[in-house]
Structure 1
Amino acid sequence: MKTESIIVYCTCPDALSAKDIAEAVVKEQLCACVNRLPAVMSHYIFKGEYCEDEEVLLIIKTTAAAFESLKTRIEALHPYDVPEIIAAPIVAGNDSYLGWLQASVK
């Protein structure tokens, strides 16, 4: 069960787009939970230019099996041309929480 659970990170340009994405993916049961962290500062180079932007970070708990559907839905809702959508495995955790996570995702 532990290796089937993942955390997906996604940055959004503002609170409204982050809320809309979080609400959609939870209601559509593409994930169990989303945390929204406001005011993260992102530093990166895009199209040859250095950028420094305040963004909202989404921390999305889901399953590996649901990743492709989740990614597709985020891409459809996200205002960026190239949204950050990256996943990392959950290698350990509270068994009760991980069971709830698994049961909450379609």
Structure 2
Amino acid sequence: MTYKLILTTCPDLASAHLIAEGLVKLEIAACVNILPTIISIYKWQNNIEQSAESQLFIKTNESNWPKVESYIKTNHPYDVPELIELDISNGSPEYFSWMDNNLQQGE
């Protein structure tokens, strides 16, 4: 099984909670950590922007990545939400077992 860490940001804590709870309720994420306040500096429509955002750390597996991606694109308030998927190469077997017990299995 390949496990994934998916990163996305939200404009506020309320939208971060809605996305996190939806992902876990659907069992397409085993856990979502929310870092309540980060400062992001980025270029948008030819302007340098600075925004306070909430960072989500989404833990899932490879088979659920497309579902997580689709859920975020459908439910996110941004036109272009951050969607970065990272492979988890090592970790606690006990934690991975817990993830398996809390995730949809298969396609």
TMscore range, shorter length = over 0.9
Q: Work out whether residues 30 and 62 of structure 1, in 8 Å CA contact, stay in contact via their aligned partners in 2.
A: yes
Distance 1:26 1:82 in 2: 22
Distance 1:92 1:8 in 2: 15
CA distance in 1, matches of 2:41, 2:83: 16
Deviation at 1:104, TM superposition (A): 1.4
- Structure 2: how far apart are the matches of 1:98 and 1:5? 8
In the alignment, residue 16 of structure 1 is paired with which amino acid? Answer: A
Shift of 1:48: 1.0
- Which runs of 5 or more structure 1 residues have no equivalent in the other structure? none
Shift of 1:64: 1.1
| CA distance, structure 2, for counterparts of residue 53 and residue 38 of structure 1 | 13
2:87 to 77, 86, 89: 89
When the two chains are superposed, the root-mean-square deviation of aligned CA atoms in Å is 0.8
Which residue of structure 2 aligns with residue 33 of structure 1?
31
**Runs of 4+ deviating beyond 6 Å:** none
Q: 1:22 aligns with which of 20, 23, 33?
A: 20
- Report what 1:70 is aligned to: 68
Distance between the aligned counterparts of 2:101 and 2:87, measured in 1? 17
Listed one character per residue, the Cα deviations across residues 15-46 of structure 1 (whole Å, up to 9, x for unaligned) are 11000000000000011000010111111111
Unaligned ranges ≥5, structure 2 = none
Match of 1:43 in 2: 41
Alignment coverage as a number of residue pairs = 104
Q: Following TM superposition, by how much is the alpha carbon of 1:105 offset from its aligned partner in structure 2, in angstroms?
A: 1.2
Q: Scaled by the length of structure 1, what TM-score is found? A: 0.94
